[in-house]
Structure 1
Amino acid sequence: MENTDYKKLHYTLEAAPTMSQFEDVELGPPIEVFLMNKLYNEDSFPNKVNLGVGAYRTNEGKPWVLPVVRIAEQALANDEILNKEYLPVLGLETFAVAATKMLLGVDNMAIIDNRAFGVQCLSGTGSLRVGAEFLAKVLGRKIFYYSNPTWENHKLVFKNAGFEEGREYRYWCSKSRGLDINGMLEDLRNAPEGSVIILHSCAHNPTGCDPSPEQWDKIAEVMKERRLFPFFDSAYQGFASGDLDKDAAAVRNFANKGFELFCAQSFAKNFGLYNERVGNLTVILNNVDLVPNVKSQLTLLIRGMYSNPPSHGARIVSYVLSNKDLYDQWRENIRTMSSRIIQMRQLLRDNLERLGTPGDWRHITQQIGMFSYTGLNVLQSENMVKKHHVYMLKSGRISMCGITPSNVEYVAKSIHETVNSVTNKL
């Protein structure tokens, strides 16, 4: 073909009408928490406050890289034996073993009997997805239950993994601003046998309201009676109370009662490894002989999903958990984070009560973990954003990490004005 022919062909392509196979793709709704973060970053208001994003902040409102993470990264960078070869499909074995022992405790019978194992996944979300896909495609489970309210991604993950139906169980009582244990138990009693129940192991997101040990016993009793499958989401072990064992008590309780279960562990919060996507799916079976079968099916699922996980974040966690001195330092780091959040809860409540803000604000300090369900309704939450530049979710959920000694008074005054000016009409 001569050069002129090339020119004719180029002209023909440019002149052709624009056609797309994507014409019918609709614009999806924005993800609220990321939209709030974007709006916050674009806001020039000097006293703006970001209470939307679920990430730890210092008293100065800055991100914090844990000191033990810095130490581990330096040690790994200087280790010339390490390379960038692929990890196995199920991930870094030393990490998965250490994470599973951290969750269940080294003396747990499921570990001693080799009935428990871990699979490295892409943070907590990836662990949920791998576990959900196994339950839907390998075990044929069709129905999953989630708390009302819950972390909004639970529904999306399980639906995309192949579950046919998601149902709610009652959890939050807006009147008492606490757990609706009777409603929860009733909904679990009415769940079809074999249903998968998503349970927050501690620091329930978004309410910050957890069952008591006695209530967990009742939940376990109903689930065993109805033959329901527990799928725990453990995003805040150690970060919630500062005590690793206390924050894992619910999962250990179910394990000790003989449940087969899954637990999705995230190391985003308690290690501050948000963008490293470090997670572990802990699996507990009753028959050790079935472990190879289950591992083989998980291997096939992951192979067809993302093939194998990244190593850097997992090596950091493994390095810290296997070094006693660093492990002890890390426990101090998480106590630092959890203590600051507890202090901010008290400061916010004190300021609201000092202002005489209508309502009972004891729930602020009774809740635990990163988030607080304030009790503000949609209109009130929107007022906080539009009038006061305090960015929060429409549900009334705020991240306590965004509150600092320098902004807590402003946040309290904003809530005070909002509660008095925007009545609860919803």
Structure 2
Amino acid sequence: MAKVTTRLNVAPVPPDEIFALNHAFGIDTHPQKVSLGVGVYRTDDGKPWPLPVVQKAEKELEAASDAFRHEYTAIEGDAPFLPMARDLMFGFEGKPSEEEAKARIATVQTVAGTGANHLGALFLAHHMKPRTVWLSNPSWANHMTIWELAGIPRKTYPYYHASTRAFDFDGMMSSLENDAEEGDVVLLHACAHNPTGLDPNKEQWIAIAELCERKKLFPFFDSAYQGFASGSVEEDAWAVRYFFTAKPDMEMCVAQSFSKNFGLYGDRVGAFHYVTNRASSSLRDVVVNNLCHLIRGEFSMGPRAGTAIVKKVLSDEALVKEWHADLKVMSSRIRSMREALYAELVRLQTPGTWEHIVQQNGMFSYTGLTLKQVYALKDQYHIYLLKSGRASISGLSKKNVAYVAQAIDDVVRNVN
């Protein structure tokens, strides 16, 4: 019998850490187990929270029973959804130059924020051919994978100062100033930096924009937490809107996700926006055309159900007001859990400084715990967080925060 061989040249790749950690948590039977790994919002009871405004929109959509609700959309996406997503991100608010500004933005629907990041990377790889993409160190792990698959060499700029547990603004600026070259892409987190929870302040954002313009770098914003981080969609979009309005001669793009701010994690709602400079706005439709070419070859068009919910909410003034209230509920609970964990660590007189927990912003905290301490938390206390020490604050609750703080206190004192 002839020997059967394969033409495949494959080797195992490391499993995704977050999903592997979530699986390990799922099969753990310990009664006090705590998940601080996956980045999803949870109530104080540790349960998912379908936003009340989303539930209301779903009921209204079900009652309407649109016969076309399962039909195909256009390749570029759901037509009414696209300007709503764009306006939410860029916030025109009836300014005199509104139409001129909108004419600069090419928008398409994507498969959530990950799909927007991937489509943007692929589009730039095909049509701009950057020599390098600069990612923050650290960054969301999937950024590295996305740009690797797009075939663009990756470099990193300093972002986190370990000894002070603070944003390394000077390191970032020095690295980009000295080493980045014209045409390089710079990946920027619009707010609630993942994984550190540390964002530039407004003065620092202004300096970053000046550097990008002067050195002719290409800003690529990842906006995953608009409204979720601070409770204000305007505040969380400040950096994107500043770059857009203050630097009209600079091109840029934005990957926009609705997973966190609408709680539509599994519905995969997102958008990608390519911003031309004001002299090249006539290229907008050509950009959309080329983005559609990539979309057609990958997934044909975006999912429909989730965008119907977003449209329903954003097109109704009363529902928008309810949505803003829901955003404040989520952001306020995250902040209260940061404060509770900090207060417990202070009460326990846990060695070290812990102010960074309340100074950080959004879903995640870079705790400063070492790899050995992270393993000890999992093995001894059944508390799950990433090897980097990144903790999802949403996994904390009034019921478990004292337990988590006591566990951290123990491993900090006894595990080196």
Please tell me the TM-score bracket, short chain as reference. over 0.9
Moved more, 287-296 or 103-112: 103-112
- Residue 394 of structure 2 corresponds to 401
List structure 1 runs of 4+ shifted beyond 3 angstroms.
16-20, 107-111
1:14-413 paired onto structure 2 within 5 Å = 19-21=4-6, 24-83=9-68, 84-107=70-93, 111-113=98-100, 114-163=103-152, 165-189=153-177, 190-257=179-246, 258=248, 259-286=250-277, 287-413=280-406
Q: Does the aligned pair in 1 maintain the 2:106–2:288 contact within 8 Å?
A: no
Compute the RMSD of aligned alpha carbons. Answer: 1.4
Residue equivalent to 2:415: 422
Deviation at 1:162, TM superposition (A): 2.8
> Deviation of residue 283 (structure 1)?
1.9
Contact conserved, 1:96 with 1:117, CA < 8 A, in 2?
no
CA distance in 2, matches of 1:352, 1:82: 56
Letter in 1 for 2:206: D
Aligned length: 407
Letter in 2 for 1:54: G
After superposition, give the CA deviation of every residue in 1:96-144 in whole Å (9 maximum; x if it has no partner).
1111101110236785212124211000000011111110111222310
CA shift for structure 1 position 387:
1.2
Question: Given that residues 128 and 157 in structure 1 are in contact (C-alpha distance below 8 angstroms), is that contact kept between their aligned partners in structure 2?
Answer: yes
Over the matched positions of the two proteins, sequence identity in percent amounts to 44
Q: Which 10-residue stretch deviates more, 109-118 or 181-190?
A: 109-118
Counterpart of 2:80, as a letter, is T
Q: Structure 1: which amino acid aligns with 2:60?
A: A
1:375 aligned counterpart, secondary structure: coil
Partner of 1:411, secondary structure, is helix
| Cα displacement string for residues 168-191 of structure 1 (whole angstroms, at most 9, x for unaligned residues) | 001000111111111100111120
Cα 1:385–1:82 change in 2 (3 A) is: same
Q: For 1:109 and 1:140, locate their aligned partners in 2 and report how far apart those are by CA, in whole Å.
A: 35
Unmatched 5+ stretches in structure 1: 1-15
CA separation of 1:216/1:23 partners in 2, compared to 1, >3 Å: closer, same or farther?
closer
In the alignment, residue 288 of structure 1 is paired with which amino acid?
Answer: S
SS at match of 1:301: helix
Deviation at 1:288, TM superposition (A): 1.9
Take 1:37 and 1:109, find their aligned partners in 2: how far apart are those partners? 49
**Contact residue 106 and residue 285 of structure 2 kept, 8 A:** no
User: Is the 8 Å Cα contact of residues 145 and 196 (structure 1) preserved in structure 2?
Assistant: yes
Q: CA deviation at 1:414?
A: 0.6
The residue matched to 1:150 in structure 2 has which SS? coil
Residues 106 and 287 of structure 2 are in contact (CA less than 8 Å); yes or no, is this contact kept in structure 1? no
SS at match of 1:26: coil
Aligned-pair distance for 1:27?
2.1
Shift of 1:80: 3.4
Q: Is the partner of 2:262 in helix, strand or coil?
A: coil
Cα offset for 1:20? Answer: 4.9
Contact 2:107 2:288 in 1 (8 A): no
CA distance in 1, matches of 2:220, 2:343: 37
Tell me, what secondary structure is at the counterpart of 1:167? strand
For residues 186 and 197 of structure 1, the distance between their equivalents in structure 2, rounded to whole angstroms, comes to: 14
Q: CA deviation at 1:25?
A: 2.8
Equivalent-residue separation in structure 2 for 1:349 and 1:155 (angstroms): 32
Query: Contact conserved, 1:141 with 1:195, CA < 8 A, in 2?
Result: yes
Separation (CA, whole Å) in 1 of partners of 2:370 and 2:266: 31
Distance 2:8 2:87 in 1: 51
User: Any idea what the Cα deviations from partners look like across 1:64-99, whole Å, max 9, x if unmatched?
Assistant: 111111111122222233412211111012111111
Distance 2:189 2:97 in 1: 21
2:52 alignment partner AA: P
Q: Deviations over 1:251-296 (max 9, x none)?
A: 0010012232110011110100000000011221122211111111
What secondary structure, in the 3-state scheme, does the structure 2 residue paired with 1:386 have?
Answer: helix
Shift, 1:305, TM fit = 1.1
CA–CA distance in structure 2, aligned partners of residues 271 and 51 of structure 1: 21
Indicate how the Cα distance of structure 1 residues 22 and 398 shifts in structure 2: closer, same or farther if over 3 A, else same.
farther
* Local SS of the residue matching 1:78: helix
Q: Distance in 2 between matches of 1:109 and 1:280?
A: 25
